[in-house]
Chains A and B, each alone.
Chain A
Amino acid sequence: MEPVARRLLRDTRAARRPLAVSGLVGAVGAVLVVAQAVLLARVIAHVFIDGQSLGDVRGDLVALAAVVAGRGVVAALFDAVGRFGALRVMSELRARLGQRMLVARPTGLPGERAGELTTAVVQGVDALETFFARYLPQVMLSALVPVAVLAWVLPHDLPAGLILAVTIPLVPLFMALVGLKARDDVRKRERTLALLGTHFLDVVRGLRTLRAFGREHAQDETLARVGDRYRRETLRTLRVAFLSAFVLELLAMLGTALVAATVGIQLAQGHLELTVGLAVLLLAPELYAPLRSMGQQHHASADGLAAAERIFEVLDAPRTVAVPEHPRVAPDPARSPVVLEGVRLTHPGRAEPVLDGADLTLEPGELVALVGHSGAGKSTLATLLLRLADPDEGAVRCGGVDLRDVDADAWRARTAWAPQRGRLFAGTLAENLRLGAPGATDAELEAALAAADALEIVAGLPDGLDTRMGDGGRALSAGQVQRLVVARALVRRAPLLVLDEPTASLDAPTAARVADGVLAAARGRTTLLITHDPALAARADRVVALRRGRVVETPRPTAAGMEAVAV
């Protein structure tokens, strides 16, 4: 079993009990398999050899019918237990993934990674259903049925029993050998195949670009060529991959054929009764059946195992903020300054730190504008203040307390944030505005909306504050969303306010109105205002810039002087 499969078993507690029940049901099923074969053989032998009539074998036939019915019940139970168990495992994994996403998200980097995460949680977990519902129970059946069959065959017909006992372990052995070879092969080709496989999607998505350059016709030939290459590459892999199924099939079939011949010869020599011979013949294919089906399920659960690797990547992602063992009381930014001391932070996967020895003090009630060119680390600095991340070196303190010694949620309760590309969630506009302040009154919402120049947006909505937002809800422009996100931050009356580019996608008159309103609303709160807009920055108490990972004091810019700051 692959390491990831072992980890799945070890890690998912919900899987254990259903698997145990599956094992119990499977064991009953294995006994019924033997009973059905023996009863069938007895009926046939009594009629054929002993010349008995339908009436004579009625007892056995009734028993046989009962066993058949029993096998039906067992098959249904086995199926149901497997799937119920799988569903519980899937729920457990989804819950854990959900929790992990909240503590281990690469902060402030929305977009591409979010898509991957969603795929892992939705499709990835679904893909695991086959593994838990079908493959694992089948593995148990593959162990139980041969034991039951051999337990009956070996004492009754040693030669046939030996054939079965020898071929059965050969099946997984050969499969493993062939499978290993195939796996190396597949891994080698995976990248090419993945590229070729997504080529069509890529071309269709880029159709607009292709058409702008008159290259759409050239794609006919490319598609055919890439398709052909994909086919040849895949078939080369499959030729080897299918070998494992071939070996399985061949061993099962030859095993059955060998048993038939051995039983036939023993019967002809008078060493065996027909009842035993027939029963052995009937049991031979039953012995191999679970193994064959396991092979198929193994194939089908490959997607799930690939998904499991991604799922574990998410589950293993480290926390972005420290969890103190004995948390201190969260300090209040309204009374004490918030201080960044020699903060250094490197984004995962980057060589250069984005913040490298950054110092900054925000006095209580002070409005500080933070400027700097794109990518300078302004939003990253904001995530440190909000404790969505902790610095690699240095510290963020408030009132002398290192924030790492404070419970992150307790600190965050003292902060409000309007992110650069904020989003509205599914739900009504009012619910969205109350995201960080569930108890806010309608009047408070309206005040915040007025400050963010968003009252006219609400007035334009069909149901006002009760209009549904987010996916499937009302579509708003980027500028409208931004104003609502700013309003949402204002509704939360927190002492530390972080506004990230509050006017970036707004036209000039709107931006000016938002600036007026927001600055008025922020008065008295400690505020970090990240902006590209020189007019807005000029209205702060103090302007600082991020340059090469450090914070530098900057004269308050005029509109003309802004270029010098940004470079």
Chain B
Amino acid sequence: MTGSLSAVLRAAPPARPRFTASVALAAGAVMSAIALMTVSGALISHAALRPPVLALTVAIVCVRALALSRAVLRYLERLVSHDLAFRSLAQLRVRFFRAVVPLVPGTRIARGDLLSRFVADVDRLQDLYLRALSPPIVAFVTSAAAVIAAGVILPVGGLVVAAALVLGGIGLPLLTGRLARTAGRRQAAAQATLAGEVVELAEGASELVAFGCGPERIRRLADADAQLAGLARRDAVAGAVASGLGAVLSGGAAVAVLLVAIPAVRGDRLDGILLAAVTLLAMAAFEAVQPLPAAAQSLSACAAAATRLEEVERMEPPVTAPAAPRPVPQEGALVAEGVSVRYDPDGPWVLRHVDLRLEPGARIALVGPSGVGKTTLADLLVRFRDPDEGRVTLGGVDLRELDPEDVRRAVRLSGQDAHVFATTLRENLRLARPDAGDSRLMEVLRDVGLDVWVDGLPDGLNTMLGEGGATVSGGQRQRIGVARALLADGRFLVLDEPTAHLDRAGAAAFLDDLDRIAGDRGVLVITHERELPGRFDRIVELA
């Protein structure tokens, strides 16, 4: 197993009353069903002795009440346990969000795929109570109750029921769990291969078609599919064996109980009326352990997720605020002095002895081919990370002596990958300045050349963007990022690739406007363009 149970327990948010309630309701529902069959068996056997019909009334009422309580308890249990799941999900999200905040950007978790897995792991833990922890407890409580009930009727019968439940509740999940794990590991690899083929087909379809490789690719997809299907078939056989054994165990328990109960009836150790009851109990008791194989899978998935999340919680943030941060100087330049950065202690240098000076009111362009470390330098300037050698100062003070958040208030960054959130355009802009009014927002949108686009949107500033909303092109997204940076107050602007996705004329117009709008702010424009159409005080080339 790649995760531990203790990690799951550590990850579980506190929820004792609700959890207790959901376990009690679930156990009540299962026991109602078992009791219903047991009492019915006794009722019918008693009836066969031809008592007056009135003598059966209590049992009949009892059976109906159990039927009702079974359905009601189950319904309530589902509501309570789902409520609990959603509550713990909200708590988990807040908790792990806090943990991941200082790690992005600047650590490996910031990589897109790892970040997605992080979110999936947190979401996975919503199953923790509902599907992983609750079923074993419920199974234990109800099995114990069934064994005791059977034991009261016939002690040796209790032993038989206990043995059957242990086989069905522990032996079977262990067996299927082992089969599923080995199959699962190999399937994961085959699945990745298949996904790879599909991604290439989907993303590269036009190229594959243009180069006449379509049929070849379809054949490769079929091969990958056959590979996966073969493994899945083996997995299916294992599952089939398990479900067959489950059926045999439940019927077998009835036969085993009969084998010990029939001599007991003959030897007057068991009232014949209860023979049917104890047999039916043995069969019905299997409901107690039925959810266990699925719970075992859930538990191991939760454990793996919880263990990975603990690793995230233990990761060192790339920057920490000093215990007693100094106030941010209100004057002076932003200066990188001989900074060097590498991502691994013995990896290659991404930046090596770089100097850069950005005065208030200055317009500086930082150019260089892609992959040369321009974005890393931007990260240094807003203290998303610290240089491994050299230092960055603001008004002569080393950024390491300042609170990183104060630095980011003074130096506004519009990153290369500005994120558009799934909310209105207004909220997307106002995250940079929550008190900005619509007229100010429209002004900024005009400044970055998005006014025509906004006028064409169905609901103007109220238009929903992001997933499921209006589509935003790469260039528009970039300019939304710039608009945010302009909205927020700051003495310096660091704009990473603001003109990417723009044609030359557009880029020239934008850079001219920027010069006017930025006023006495110091502006650093990062770009890979070779010839910059705008006016700059200085062009710094990073090579």
In the complex, which residue of chain B has the Cβ closest to the Cβ of A510?
A: B369
Chain B residues lying within 8 Å of A94, measured Cβ to Cβ, are 194, 198, 221, 225
Chain B residues lying within 8 Å of A477, measured Cβ to Cβ, are 369-371
Judge whether A261 and B263 touch: CB under 8 Å. Answer: no
Q: A105-B206, A256-B67 are in contact. Are A44 and B276 (CB under 8 A)?
A: yes
Chain B residues lying within 8 Å of A90, measured Cβ to Cβ, are 229
Judge whether B43 and A264 touch: CB under 8 Å. Answer: yes
Chain A residues lying within 8 Å of B71, measured Cβ to Cβ, are 246, 249-250, 253-254
Judge whether A470 and B200 touch: CB under 8 Å. Answer: yes
Binds A, one of B211-219, B303-311, B339-347, B512-520: B211-219
Judge whether A231 and B87 touch: CB under 8 Å. Answer: yes
The verdict on B321 contacting chain A, using a C-beta distance below 8 Å, is no
Instruction: For residue B23, give the distance in angstroms from its CB to the closest CB of chain A.
Output: 18
The verdict on B86 contacting chain A, using a C-beta distance below 8 Å, is yes
A238 to B81, CA, bound (A): 11
A235 to B89, CA, bound (A): 14
Judge whether B240 and A77 touch: CB under 8 Å. Answer: yes
Contact of A261 among B60, B83, B243 (CB under 8 A): B60
The verdict on A554 contacting chain B, using a C-beta distance below 8 Å, is no
The verdict on B78 contacting chain A, using a C-beta distance below 8 Å, is yes
Binds B, one of A358-366, A415-423, A446-454, A516-524: A415-423
Chain A residues lying within 8 Å of B241, measured Cβ to Cβ, are 76
Judge whether A211 and B246 touch: CB under 8 Å. Answer: no
Contact of B255 among A61, A105, A507 (CB under 8 A): A61
A111 to B104, CA, bound (A): 24
Which DSSP category, helix, strand, loop or mixed, fits chain B's interface? helix
Judge whether A234 and B82 touch: CB under 8 Å. Answer: yes
Chain A residues lying within 8 Å of B245, measured Cβ to Cβ, are 72, 76
Instruction: For residue A279, give the distance in angstroms from its CB to the closest CB of chain B.
Output: 10
Chain B residues lying within 8 Å of A250, measured Cβ to Cβ, are 67-68, 71
Judge whether A101 and B202 touch: CB under 8 Å. Answer: yes
A194 to B466, CA, bound (A): 12
For window 458-508 of B, CB contacts with A under 8 Å fall at 466-468, 471, 475, 481, 484, 488, 501-506, 508
Scan A172-193; emit 1 where CB is below 8 A from any B CB, else 0. Answer: 0000000000000000000100
From B82, B210, B243, B484, name the one whose CB has the most chain A CB atoms within 10 angstroms: B210
Contact of A264 among B44, B83, B97, B420 (CB under 8 A): B44
Chain B residues lying within 8 Å of A261, measured Cβ to Cβ, are 43, 56, 60, 63-64
Binds A, one of B32-40, B132-140, B145-153, B154-162: B32-40
Binds B, one of A114-122, A455-463, A544-552: A114-122
Binds A, one of B177-185, B265-273, B354-362, B438-446: B265-273
Binds A, one of B329-337, B394-402, B404-412: B404-412
Chain A residues lying within 8 Å of B93, measured Cβ to Cβ, are 200, 223, 227
Chain B residues lying within 8 Å of A277, measured Cβ to Cβ, are 44, 47-48
Q: A71-B247, A75-B246, A223-B94 are in contact. Are A257 and B503 (CB under 8 A)?
A: no
Instruction: For residue B194, give the distance in angstroms from its CB to the closest CB of chain A.
Output: 7
Chain A residues lying within 8 Å of B70, measured Cβ to Cβ, are 249, 253
For window 49-106 of A, CB contacts with B under 8 Å fall at 49, 51, 53-54, 57, 61, 64-65, 67-69, 71-80, 83-84, 87-88, 90-91, 94-95, 98-99, 101-103, 105
Judge whether B370 and A230 touch: CB under 8 Å. Answer: no
Q: A216-B101, A249-B70 are in contact. Are A264 and B280 (CB under 8 A)?
A: no
Judge whether B528 and A505 touch: CB under 8 Å. Answer: yes
From B55, B232, B233, B528, name the one whose CB has the most chain A CB atoms within 10 angstroms: B232
Contact of B225 among A95, A256, A386 (CB under 8 A): A95
**What is the total number of residues of chain B having a CB less than 8 Å from a CB of chain A?**
149
Chain B residues lying within 8 Å of A426, measured Cβ to Cβ, are 196, 200
Instruction: For residue B449, give the distance in angstroms from its CB to the closest CB of chain A.
Output: 13
For window 36-65 of B, CB contacts with A under 8 Å fall at 36-37, 40-41, 43-48, 50-53, 55-56, 59-60, 63-64
Instruction: For residue A415, give the distance in angstroms from its CB to the closest CB of chain B.
Output: 7
Contact of B202 among A53, A114, A416 (CB under 8 A): A114
Instruction: For residue A323, give the distance in angstroms from its CB to the closest CB of chain B.
Output: 13
Chain A residues lying within 8 Å of B325, measured Cβ to Cβ, are none
Instruction: For residue B258, give the distance in angstroms from its CB to the closest CB of chain A.
Output: 6
For window 112-131 of A, CB contacts with B under 8 Å fall at 112, 114-115, 117-118, 121-122
Chain B residues lying within 8 Å of A40, measured Cβ to Cβ, are 254, 258, 279
Judge whether A264 and B59 touch: CB under 8 Å. Answer: yes
Judge whether A122 and B198 touch: CB under 8 Å. Answer: yes
The verdict on A471 contacting chain B, using a C-beta distance below 8 Å, is yes
A359 to B417, CA, bound (A): 39
In the complex, which residue of chain B has the Cβ closest to the Cβ of A194?
A: B468
Instruction: For residue A246, give the distance in angstroms from its CB to the closest CB of chain B.
Output: 4
Chain B residues lying within 8 Å of A78, measured Cβ to Cβ, are 243
In the complex, which residue of chain B has the Cβ closest to the Cβ of A408?
A: B209
For window 510-543 of B, CB contacts with A under 8 Å fall at 528, 530-531
Chain B residues lying within 8 Å of A270, measured Cβ to Cβ, are 50
Q: A72-B248, A105-B205 are in contact. Are A54 and B259 (CB under 8 A)?
A: yes
The verdict on B208 contacting chain A, using a C-beta distance below 8 Å, is yes
Instruction: For residue A65, give the distance in angstroms from its CB to the closest CB of chain B.
Output: 5
The verdict on B30 contacting chain A, using a C-beta distance below 8 Å, is no
Judge whether A274 and B48 touch: CB under 8 Å. Answer: yes
In the complex, which residue of chain A has the Cβ closest to the Cβ of B236?
A: A83
In the complex, which residue of chain B has the Cβ closest to the Cβ of A93?
A: B225
The verdict on A10 contacting chain B, using a C-beta distance below 8 Å, is no
In the complex, which residue of chain B has the Cβ closest to the Cβ of A226?
A: B90
From B203, B248, B279, B505, name the one whose CB has the most chain A CB atoms within 10 angstroms: B203
Chain A residues lying within 8 Å of B67, measured Cβ to Cβ, are 250, 253-254, 256-257
A268 to B225, CA, bound (A): 62
A10 to B90, CA, bound (A): 42
The verdict on A6 contacting chain B, using a C-beta distance below 8 Å, is no
Chain B residues lying within 8 Å of A435, measured Cβ to Cβ, are 207-208, 211, 213
The verdict on B436 contacting chain A, using a C-beta distance below 8 Å, is no
Judge whether B422 and A242 touch: CB under 8 Å. Answer: no
The verdict on B201 contacting chain A, using a C-beta distance below 8 Å, is yes
The verdict on A425 contacting chain B, using a C-beta distance below 8 Å, is yes
In the complex, which residue of chain B has the Cβ closest to the Cβ of A506?
A: B369
Judge whether B97 and A223 touch: CB under 8 Å. Answer: yes
A479 to B372, CA, bound (A): 12
Q: A201-B116, A242-B75 are in contact. Are A220 and B94 (CB under 8 A)?
A: yes
18 A-B pairs besides A204-B119, A213-B484 with CB distance below 8 A are A48-B276, A79-B240, A84-B233, A90-B229, A94-B194, A110-B203, A117-B198, A204-B97, A204-B104, A207-B101, A208-B104, A209-B415, A211-B408, A227-B87, A234-B82, A235-B83, A423-B203, A477-B370
Q: List 5 A-B contacts (CB under 8 A).
A: A44-B275, A57-B262, A231-B83, A257-B40, A566-B505
Q: What are the 3 closest A-B residue pairs judged by CB atoms, nearest first?
A: A227-B90, A76-B244, A68-B251
